[in-house]
Structure 1
Amino acid sequence: MEILVSFASSLLGDGSRILCGSIYSKIRNFSKFRSNLDALEKEMEKLKTRKDDVEQQIETGDKQGKLPTAQVVRWLSEVNKMEADMNSMRTAMEDSTNNASGCCSNCGVRCKLSKQVVDKLNEVAQLLKDADFPAGIVIANHLPVPVEHIPGPSIEGQSTASKNLAMIMDCLWNDEFGRIGVWGMGGVGKTTLVKNLNNKLKSPSSVQPFSIIIWTTVSKDFDLKRVQLQLAERLKLTNVEESPERMAIRLYERFEKEKRFLLILDDVWDAIDLDLLGVPRPEIHKGSKIILTSRTKEVCAQMTTDVDIKVDVLNEEEAWQLFCQNAGKVAMAEPIKSVAVVVAKECCGLPLAIITVGASMRGKAKVELWHDALTALRRSEPIKGIEKKVFTPLKWSYDSLQDEHIKTCFLCCCLYPEDFSIEVSELIRFWFAEGLLDEHQNYEELENRGMAIIESLMDSCLLDLGAQVDTVKMHDVVRDVAIWIACSMEDGSKSFIRSGIALKHWPENDLLKSSRRLSFVNNEMTKLPDWELQCSQATTLLLRGSRFLEKVPYSFLQGFQVLRVLDLSGSCIKSLPLSLLQLGELRALILSGCSDLKELPPLKGLGKLQILDCCGTRIKALPEGIENLTNLRQLDLSYTPHLKTIRAGALYRLSNLESLNMRRSGYWWGAKEKVEMGQAPFEELLHLERLIVLYIDLSIIPHSSSEDYITWIRRLRKFGVFVKDYGPGDNAIENSERAFIRPRHFVRRHLSLKNYNLSAVRQSWWLLINATSVDIYGCSYINLMLENLAMLSHTVGSFAGLKSLTIGKSKYGFQPGVGRGGSQFDLLPNLEHLYLYSLDFLESISDLGDFLGLRFSKLRLLEVIGCPRLKYLLPIGGSIQILEELKEIKLKSCEKLEEFFRYDASRQIMALDPVVPNLRMLELNKLPNLKTLCKENESWPSLEQLEILDCNLLRKLPLTIQRANNMKEIRGEQQWWSQLEWDDEYTKSSLQHYFTPIMVNPFVIALN
């Protein structure tokens, strides 16, 4: 070969030697192609091994929060490119080998590949040389990842949780909310919810509003330094072995470098000082947010959250799905499924209980095991795994209650049956009688204290709102935990609870002897033991709801020497034994609803009795010796129609009486000149100096200008005075009273006038001017009364305390007499609720407003029903420009109503400004002539709920696309909705998903 090249070179001369050298190089590469290729493959193996080693160190460093150096990143990129080039070259060689034709072209390709092999061999050698990395492979990471994935179960498919998640997401985008509270009872899934929020923000499809999201768990035993270390680790701060004060400064400086951060503080038990922690306040670091989860709403308040979102339990369908996920296929198998469904329901939607119980039953294919678990759950007995995973975490909420009395108050709530709605007043009364509240406080102070305790328990998610107004209840799992605690106490406060289990016989159980509280509420016992029981420690005996119990044996009560509370309400007892008088420590005797009880034994010996409740009994007279109960503080004689005699002086001596309820008793109070000889007159009540709560029926309002009446009525904190309220067969009026429910603060000082001659009511202004709510129903001379009030205003001023006014069932108009006018100033400046019913002559509310000079500046709710001549509500302009506080309007059965407002040309505000800018709820029913709600192009920006039925001429709603996001629900007939007119189709389509069609039953309409 060399001879051949030399010969060719001599022939071509010096100018061609360079070309020959090139040819020589190519020939040499070609001749060494195989050996070079083998060498390249071996070097590539070394390079791959080194690459694997580098990547392994990078992975290890990543777990330590470290990053590869820039040199390493470039090197790996070059190695990856080299591997790609090698794969391309191998493919080309295979094609060259497989090409059997075209020898010359094949030889040319092989020469080219030979050159590439040599070049790659040199490049690989350089990459191996560069792989020493004297500065190291990884370095500390000073730039944290914006969002880290947090492992946790998904809430996908759970509509309740998804709704809460959407609410939190909305708050994150709303600049008004810098601090967001997420609260709920233990085990409800708050942590799971915010984990899903975090991971949703990490999703590639999510628009990321934050430069960094930081999650930290606070826990019950808050350790400032530990939480600071968590934050420092997430922010990649080094040298963290510093004092909490110095660390707070460093954290604050580091947070300030973030444009917008989101800090999630999970499981907060007490308020955290952000300054001590080292976190900038969201109100200062604009755009940043703090989300905290807590078991109590109180913690959210202490952390001054801008919005609080309560996490509730799952609905039944979601609970069953979650239960099956954890219990497995066995829960769906027959015959287990029917039992499994009930077991799942016993968890009452609490995710922690559902998951734990479901997992404990996983794989158990014997139906007997499921029945056994169900029995244990119903008895509030923790099955295997429940005590540690469910009961103990929930007990932490109980342990966190700061006051031992509050803890006991909480445990008293589990004495009632499962799902039982407890009246708030009854609960507070029970706590007081048990000695859990300060007996030196008066009725109002006790009520305030009791309400504060209830609010605290609700904020801790240990109590929920009950099914009825002014009631509370316990979540079933919380009740199970409370029973578990109450039945295992060793300090003499143990409870024996057998409530709501259809118990038919008194139990023979030694635990009765050592228990302080015995509860047999809502059972089916027909008789009690006729012997003396050894219950010497019992202070509470609850037998309420024993609907088959007719007798309390004499000897039965003899074993309860220290009994403080005896509740027999709702039983069928006809009398009480004289052994009752031996209960010298008795504080509360509750007999409400004992409809067969006609008399009580003499009560003289019960000197410590403070509460006597005879509501709904058939007693005909007050028990003998009641005047000696000088410690009696609460007496309930309401709904006792047979009680028609009260001896003069019988109540006068009850010097400590604070609350007297005689609503719907058979005794009508009247002035002393109007009652029979020997009967108690109304004036006797004025001498009860500690009385602050009173509910009575009057035959006539006492006419007096004496200061004694004024001083007395102002001393009362609550009163309900019902004047000629009912008579024989007056059921219609009783039913109408239940047609609406006023807010609690309005009924604190209530006056009801029904079927009463109002011509002389001027002489009773002392009662009117002190009422917060007044009902006038079926009364004559109402126009004369209004005139008198207008005239009286010049003497006594406005009726500023009145917040609720109801006028109903009147055939008389509000027109003043000849030569008389209305008030020159607003007589009801603080009126918030106005109810008008069955007013045959009312054409406009201005008829009433002109009489009393009303401006409606504080009006929040307006309800008008059955006013057949009503043409419009109010004139707008002049004295009424805007109804700024109005939140709700309810109109029904006003056949002639054509429009809401009649606009005066003198109206000063801009034509398109809404008359009701804050109206949220609108209910319209049976208004066949209603055509317009407001002026053309006027919109009501705050509307959230609409219900419109039988208003077929109403073609347009005051809604725009800009306000569509406020809407929560629109209800009405499908035909009406389809015929509505819109400014544009986009508005209608945006509101369409809020619309729910209502099927109207024509038979029901005919009845109405």
Structure 2
Amino acid sequence: MQPNMANNIRVECLPSGEALKLFEEKVGSETLHMHPDIHKLAEAVAEECAGLPLALITIGRAMASKKTPQEWEYAIEVLRKSAASVLPGVGKEMYPKLKFSYDCLPDERFRSCFLYCSLYPEDHPIEKDQLIHCWIGEGLLDEHTNLSSARNQGHFIRGSLIDACLLENIRGNYYVKMHDVVRDMALWIVCEFEEKFFVKLGVQLKELPEAEKWEEVTRMSLMGYQIENLTEILECPNLQTLFLGSNDLKVIMNDFFNSMPMLSVLDLSHNMNLKELPVGIANLVSLEHLNLSWTGIRRLPVELKTLAKLKYLNLELTIDLRMIPQQLISNFSKLQVLKMLACNVGCSLVLKEMEHLKYLNVLTITFRSASKLEKALGFKKFFNCVIERLMLEDFNDSRSLNILALANMQHLYSLGLLRCMNLEELKIESNKIEGVGFFHSLRFVYLSKCDQLRDANWIIIAPHLEDLVIINCKSLEEIISEEKFGEVTKSKANTNLFSKLKILHLICLPKMKTICSHALPLPRLKEIRIKRCAMLKKLPLKSNSAKGQRVVIKGEEEWWKEVEWEDESTRLAFLPSFKPHVI
């Protein structure tokens, strides 16, 4: 909110009765009845929250584990004292209250991970795995013998921050974000307690800002601005994290990184106008985490070989990348995570050099021919990695693919097929139906421009599928055929198809007639989007399919008028769900 703006809206706090009710709900009846004095003390704590819903929720959750009157009395004392230390006029009725939840985090490690999230811009969706890898690169987590253990700790801390209402899950739990007020509180803590962060707020930067003491800054975020050129040296001897993502970067001078010897995390992602890296990046001898995804870089400079500590390299969606010097990837001897999904450089180079990457643990990759995929599947080192995301693109040398060939990828959560123009069939053998659930980790499936495919029957062996997106498949007639549905029903397999499905997008499928011939329970369903699927007249819904979920159905109004319903009760149940598609 900007001061003195005519369109500012005052958000009223809750009256005392409603505030106490919300607070007690978050504390829980078990704690409130643990001692006769706690209920009265709870009223005093709720009063300190001054009706602010976010403060009531966060402090209520923090107090849920406090089972003695002494703990509650101490909480009241802390909340009353902290107000005096707040900067005048800056959230003096709010930040100290919210800080109590911060103070209740288990230790400094949790607190540091929380404050780190404030480096991301306001309302910015933070990919949870990317965040955890930044924590790892910064050394915020414990020392672990392997990457898997470190990531597990990161997920534990992330979950704890969500439980404390300091982060919130969004986009199907793949991302997290900070509530605006919580982020403001985090930045207030950074400022008040002398953390050396540099985060510019409320301005549209086109060039580097100025700071009084660059040498003191340990973490800097300049994400989401309009910075085009980095043409001056910053003397930042203690800088550990530098976020420059989502700008308009075109030029980074060769000497820009010269005075950042401690930098361990560098994010240049989402700068499509950035065509080349400065050779001076070789001076970042402490760098462990490098994110170049969604950039326009055309080649990786051979000078990168000096980054001997590099553990994380993200090259996803570098669609202009044409050249990676030989032995460069294998030179990163400590590399643990390599992300190359939709990277324009072929997979052959990676497969050739993987043998030298003894610590490589996580891989995302694109295959552009059945023969290269087949070669990789016979490569032991390939399966020693955790394959998290896989894309099959431009598959024009095969008409058929045995989808079970990918079943050993136990951690695969995203699978895409793009422009596989000659692929007619993704086979799943009938005698394997009873083994339904091969792809236990698969959550997201994307099919686009696979013009010969007629069905997507194979997804019956992905029991936890959450997002299914199918676009521009000219011959696709059905997703689950009557025959395959019957095979599943007759077998001992789980027949509860799509039981975890949240998102279903079907776009530009001129021959699509059937999703599934039987109505299905879809207890997690949130959104169906149908566009340019003129022959699709029936949805696999019955009146209780969504079990009370608020489902949104988006599509053209003419299509909606022609939808055929299971019965009148189903039509009435989903009538309020429709939202006309807006071009």
TM-score, L = length of structure 2? 0.71
Output the amino acid matched with 1:712: F
User: Are residues 1:580 and 2:257 paired?
Assistant: yes
Work out whether 1:970 is the aligned partner of 2:582. no
Task: Output the CA distance in 1 between the equivalents of 2:121 and 2:19.
Answer: 34
Aligned: 1:547 with 2:226: yes
Percent identity over paired residues: 22
Secondary structure (helix, strand or coil) at the match of 1:660 reads strand
2:454 matched to 1:775? no
| Partner amino acid, structure 1, of 2:576 | I
CA shift, 1:657, in A, is 0.8
Is 1:696 aligned with 2:365? Answer: yes
Q: Which has the higher contact order (CA 8 A, sep 6+)?
A: 2
- The 8 Å contact of residues 341 and 366 in structure 2, kept in 1 or not, is answered as yes
Mapped pair 1:847 → 2:481: yes
Judging changes above 3 Å, is the alpha-carbon distance between structure 1 residues 848 and 296 closer, same or farther for their aligned structure 2 residues?
farther
* Structure 2 equivalent of residue 227 of structure 1: 37
- Among 749, 761, 764, the residue aligned to 2:401: 761
Quote the Cα distance in structure 2 between the aligned partners of 1:704 and 1:391.
57
> Which stretches in structure 1 are left out of the alignment for 5+ residues?
1-157, 162-187, 199-213, 232-263, 270-292, 304-351, 357-379, 503-521, 671-679, 725-753, 817-821, 903-912, 941-956, 960-966, 973-997
Post-superposition shift, 1:971?
5.1
Give the 3-state SS of the residue equivalent to 2:415 in structure 1: strand
Contact between 1:588 and 1:612, CA under 8 Å: does it hold in 2? yes
The correspondence for 2:58, drawn from 269, 290, 295, is 295
Residue 240 of structure 2 is matched in structure 1 by: 564
Residues 312 and 337 in structure 2, CA contact (< 8 A), matched pair in contact too? yes
Aligned partners of 2:352, 2:337: CA distance in 1, in Å?
17
Q: How far is the alpha carbon of 1:552 from its aligned partner? A: 4.0
Cα RMSD between the aligned structures? 5.1
Question: 1:929 and 1:494, CA in 2 relative to 1: closer, same or farther beyond 3 A?
Answer: closer
The 8 Å contact of residues 57 and 165 in structure 2, kept in 1 or not, is answered as no
**Cα deviation 1:150-178 (Å, max 9, x = unaligned):** xxxxxxxx9999xxxxxxxxxxxxxxxxx
Q: Distance in 2 between matches of 1:194 and 1:617?
A: 48
For 2:408 and 2:566, the matched residues in 1 are separated by: 36
For the residue of structure 2 that corresponds to 1:775, the secondary structure is strand
Moved more, 692-701 or 419-428: 419-428
> CA–CA distance in 1 between the matches of 2:324 and 2:563?
58
Distance 1:668 1:848, change over 3 A: farther
Q: Give the partner amino acid of 1:472.
A: K
Aligned match of 2:379 in 681, 705, 709? 709
Task: Quote the Cα distance in structure 2 between the aligned partners of 1:463 and 1:796.
Answer: 38
Looking at structure 1, the residues matched to 453 and 524 of structure 2 have their Cα atoms a distance apart, in angstroms, of 25
Q: In structure 1, what is the Cα distance between the partners aligned to 2:524 and 2:279?
A: 54
The whole-number CA distance in structure 2 between the counterparts of 1:826 and 1:435 is 41
* Structure 1 residue 409 corresponds to structure 2 residue 113: yes
3-state SS of the aligned residue for 1:411?
helix
Q: Tell me how far apart the structure 2 counterparts of residues 596 and 971 of structure 1 sit (CA, whole Å).
A: 43
Tell me if structure 2 keeps the 8 A contact 1:576–1:600: yes
Residue deviations 1:116-165, cap 9 Å, x none?
Answer: xxxxxxxxxxxxxxxxxxxxxxxxxxxxxxxxxxxxxxxxxx9999xxxx
What does 1:118-517 align with in structure 2 at a 5 Å threshold? 189=14, 191-193=16-18, 227=37, 267=45, 295=58, 298=61, 381-383=87-89, 387=92, 389-415=93-119, 422-425=126-129, 427-440=131-144, 442-464=146-168, 470-476=175-181, 478-489=182-193, 493-495=194-196, 497=198, 499-502=200-203
1:407/1:591 Cα in 2 relative to 1: closer, same or farther (>3 Å)? same
Deviations 1:565-585 (A, max 9, x none): 234443646234447355432
In structure 2, the partner of 1:107 is: none
Deviation of 1:633 after TM superposition, in Å, equals 0.7
Give the match for residue 933 of structure 1: 565
Partners of 1:607 and 1:644 in 2: CA distance: 25
State how far apart, in whole Å, the 2-side matches of 1:228 and 1:596 are.
Answer: 59
| Partner SS state of residue 723, structure 1 | strand
Q: Partner residue of 1:895? A: 534
* Secondary structure at 1:487 match in 2: helix
State the secondary structure of the residue aligned to 1:392.
helix
858-867 vs 629-638, which moves further: 858-867
> Given that residues 782 and 814 in structure 1 are in contact (C-alpha distance below 8 angstroms), is that contact kept between their aligned partners in structure 2?
no
SS at 1:635 equivalent: strand
Q: Secondary structure at the match of 2:313?
A: strand
Q: Do the aligned partners of 1:523 and 1:545 also contact (CA within 8 Å) in 2?
A: no
Deviation, 1:813, is 6.3
1:436 to partner: Cα distance: 2.1
How many angstroms does 1:609 deviate by?
1.7
Deviation at 1:227, TM superposition (A): 0.6
Could you report, residue by residue, the CA deviation over 1:621-657 in whole angstroms, capped at 9, with x for unpaired residues? Answer: 3233433433211112334444322222211132221
Within 2, Cα distance between the matches of 1:634 and 1:837? 32
Relative to 1, partners in 2 of residues 1:429 and 1:226: Cα closer, same or farther, differing over 3 Å?
Answer: same
Shift of 1:859: 1.4
Match of residue 205 from structure 2: 523
Distance 1:814 1:302 in 2: 55
2-side partners of 1:922 and 1:778: how far apart? 29
Following superposition, the deviation at residue 781 of structure 1 comes to: 4.7
* Counterpart position of 2:266: 589
TM-score, normalized by length of structure 1?
0.44
Q: For 2:324 and 2:464, how far apart are their aligned partners in 1? A: 39
CA distance in 1, matches of 2:228, 2:216: 24
1:638/1:661 contact within 8 Å kept? yes
Aligned pair 1:630/2:321, yes or no? Answer: no
d(CA) in 2 for partners of 1:914, 1:223: 41
1:511-541 CA-to-partner distances (Å, cap 9, x unmatched) read xxxxxxxxxxx53445769xxx865443224
> Does residue 1:655 correspond to 2:356, yes or no?
no
Say whether the 8 Å CA contact 1:434–1:539 is kept in structure 2: no
Structure 1 pair 495–192 and aligned structure 2 pair: CA distance change class (3 A): farther
SS in 1 for 2:353: helix
Find the residue that maps to 1:607 and give its secondary structure. coil
Are 1:840 and 1:869, in contact at CA under 8 Å, matched by a contact in 2? Answer: yes
Structure in which a larger fraction of residues adopt helix: 1
Q: Which amino acid aligns with 1:699?
A: R
1:599 to 255, 258, 277: 277
Aligned partners of 1:417 and 1:931: how far apart in 2?
42
State the Cα deviation string for residues 29-72 of structure 1 (Å, max 9, x = none): xxxxxxxxxxxxxxxxxxxxxxxxxxxxxxxxxxxxxxxxxxxx
The Cα shift of 1:779 comes to 3.1
Q: How far has the Cα of 1:755 moved from its partner?
A: 5.6
Secondary structure, aligned partner of 1:630: coil
Across the two proteins, how many residue pairs are aligned to each other? 529
Deviates more, 1:451-460 or 1:886-895: 886-895
**What code does the residue aligned with 2:89 have?**
I
Q: Aligned partners of 2:89 and 2:545: how far apart in 1?
A: 57
2:553 pairs with 895, 898, 923, which one? 923
How far is the alpha carbon of 1:404 from its aligned partner? 1.7
Structure exhibiting the larger radius of gyration computed from Cα positions: 1
User: Aligned partners of 1:656 and 1:769: how far apart in 2?
Assistant: 25
